[in-house]
Amino acid sequence: MSSSESLPASSSPSSVSMDTENSEELYSFFQRQSTDKAIRRRKFSPLKHSTKDIPFYYSNSIIEEHKSVIYAVKFCQFIDGHIIFATVAGPQVTIYKCLDSKNRMEPIAVYKDPHQDEEFYAIEWAVCDIRFEPKIMLIIGGKGALIRTIDPFKGTTYCTLSGHGDVINAISTHPVVNSIIASASKDLTVRLWHCLTKTSLAILGGFAGHRDQILALDFHRSGNYIASGSMDHTIRVWNISSDSEIRERISKAAQNRPLDYLDPVEIHFSDAESRDLHTNYVDCVQFLGSYIFSKSSENFMVLSKFGEFDDPSPCGRGIRDNKPESLSQQVAKMSLPFCDMWFIKFGLTTGPPGQAWIACGNQKGAVYIWDIHARPIPEKSHYQITDNNFPQVIRKVEFSPNGEIMLVVGDGGKICRCNKKRTFGLKSSTAASQTKEQQEATPDENTQTSSSSIRDSSSAETDL
């Protein structure tokens, strides 16, 4: 694999931050800083949504040579000064750098699994100290039931984590201790791991857990809770901070102390559970404060809250009398036409009005976008984006950490880049200026082909 230039690690990861003391948290976000003075001076007030002023526009696309389905894409939140993302398709992982000068995407490294029948479905970024030096790592998992921790820029495999008994559908990184990850599997369990320790820290599931394969999971911003979605139509929230042994293991990882445990902690009961929100496979979940966005393969997404609205806990009252919280209140229902195929996942980015969106694709090549500051959030999307270059079936929409780029990936190995309009929401915005912005890339630059000249990486594990 060709290694990239030296990329500086960020001192602190990007994370959602909001007030959790009352129900107003849904609309309270830290303002993102902008280099554009006109945007920086703008007063942040509720948007007036117009189909003539769409926040993102198609910029260009790249087609990976394998032309297989890209199931997942993830931006790296731990690098300052560079916009890096990675995709997974079949046994291949490709790392890209976004170039601002030409609105292009440049492949900088490729990793191919030694098992050619592997098919990756999940990807995440993590940070872990190796010999007292922080290293950015890429975490991947899929059909082979193994999780690989790799160096994304050198291609070496740091560690292979085994323990799941079947396909791995999702991976999420702890937002506070970035060396801790969680994985969701077809084996009906969620597992916690240190990314360089081959034995899992904890297993969430069992006789009182999910009854079909788990398709999605997400950490709460505090790192104390995990939400999971399953083919059994349920959403569950697990309070991992309630177990003293798990807390101790995560604390050791945060302090880079040796993890000397032999067996994982087992948690059989979730703290909250709902079968009332969806009637089909739940394939995507994500926290927004103590609220949860969830999507299932039934043509809609839901925003909901466990427990009462004035309860700051993501799992409401939690376990009472040996029973999990079962009260789940729907806040919004969002329509997704032609989206009854499972394993189509939404993307979420937070910020002030004009920079906070949830977006999801469908199986007809369209992306639907909602302003999550809207009160109430309507059933019909505020905006819809289509382009002939979009994949026919869109598997994932992903936003960059600064919210300025939206990626659309799916069938045919296609990666489409959509840029945020710099004039979006400004009174001085005109149709002419928007058209000029969309035409910055010349027609022959709009479609790229992933380079085949990048050397495949080594699959040998690094001796730590």
Look at residue 260 in the predicted model and tell me its pLDDT: 80
pLDDT in tens, the chain (464 residues): 433 333 334 333 333 333 333 334 443 433 333 333 333 434 445 677 777 789 999 999 999 999 999 999 999 999 988 999 999 999 999 999 998 766 889 999 999 999 999 999 999 999 998 888 899 999 999 999 999 999 998 889 999 999 999 999 999 999 999 999 999 999 999 999 999 998 899 999 988 899 999 999 999 999 999 999 999 999 999 999 999 999 999 999 888 887 888 899 999 999 999 999 999 999 999 999 999 999 999 999 999 999 999 999 999 999 988 899 999 999 999 999 999 999 999 999 999 888 999 999 999 999 999 999 999 999 999 999 999 999 999 999 999 999 999 999 999 999 999 999 988 866 545 555 555 555 555 444 556 666 433 334 333 333 33
Q: What is the 3-state secondary structure (H, E, C) of the chain?
A: CCCCCCCCECCCCCCCCCCCCCHHHHHCCCCCCCCCHHHHHCCCCCCCCCCCCCCEEEEEEEECCCCCCCCEEEECCCECCCCEEEEEECCEEEEEEEECCCCEEEEEEEEECCCCCCCEEEEEEEEEEECCEEEEEEEEEECCCEEEEECCCCCCEEEEEECCCCCEEEEEECCCCCCEEEEEECCCCEEEEECCCCCCCEEECCCCCCCCCEEEEEECCCCCEEEEEECCCCEEEEEHHHCHHHHHHHHHHHCCCCCCCCCCEEECCCCEEECCCCCCCEEEEEEECCEEEEEECCCEEEEEEECCCCCCCCCCCCCECCECECCEEEEEEEECCCCCCCCCECEEECCCCCCCEEEEECCCCEEEEEECCCCCCCCCCCEEEECCCCCCCEEEEEECCCCCEEEEEEHHHEEEEEEECCCCCCCCCCHHHHHHHHCCCCHHHCEEECCCCCCCCCCCECCC
What are the residue boundaries of the structural domains of the chain, listed by start?
A: 19-69+343-449
Predicted TM-score (pTM) of the model is 0.85
